[in-house]
Amino acid sequence: MVDLLDMHKMFLLAHIGPGDTVADFTMGNGHDTQFLSQTVGKDGHVYAFDVQEQALRNTRKLLEETCPDNYTLILDSHANCDKYLPQTIKGGMFNLGWLPGADKSLTTRRESTLPAVQSAIAHLAPDGILLIAVYPGHPEGTLESQMLDDYFRTLSRFQMSISRFQIINSPQSPFFFAVEKK
Ligand code: SAM
């Protein structure tokens, strides 16, 4: 069976590679930041955001041991990403929800997720990609995924292609949206 997470990475790798500038909008424990850093290599750059110092500490430790020096870790909400990002990024990841093993009340929320996704799309280069993993298994995750679905349906198909990948006989399982800019 194809693992949804592997599929997630397959999408990213079709759009990003060495030398690209990308962003991880929900750094967490740094696994996605690490994947992005290793994919874009020493000539690329990763901007990574989180609101928790613990996320920055965990990510810094992981990256120092395994990645080139090609990242900027930012302690701020992804809703403020405009202040930090260059004009364009080739790719971005959102892995919504809370930091595994930490305070669940510090989950991502609709009021900051929507402006962050809108800014990320505004910064996306031609042929760029955004991947957004959502967790409908908890109440805020359900509302977040519905909000994003509603928003994405309003965007022009001439400018971007937006797909949703979900196990339809397991509707509570995590799924992802892929936003590909034409
Ligand atoms: N990508 C991470 C990894 O590979 O370990 C997992 C991310 S975790 C599911 C979600 C993260 O989003 C948490 O660390 C949480 O602190 C962070 N978060 C919550 N609200 C945020 C916001 N407004 N801006 C940036 N990060 C936020």
| pLDDT tens digits along 62-103 | 999 999 999 999 999 999 999 999 999 999 999 999 988 888
CA distance 71 to 33: 8
CA–centroid distance, residue 158 to ligand 1 (Å): 31
CA–centroid distance, residue 33 to ligand 1 (Å): 11
Instruction: Please tell me the pTM assigned to this model.
Output: 0.97
E strands within the chain?
21-24, 45-50, 71-75, 89-95, 124-134, 160-165, 175-181
pLDDT per position as a tens digit, 37-52 = 999 999 999 999 999 9
CB 113 within 8 A of CB 77: no
80: which DSSP letter?
G
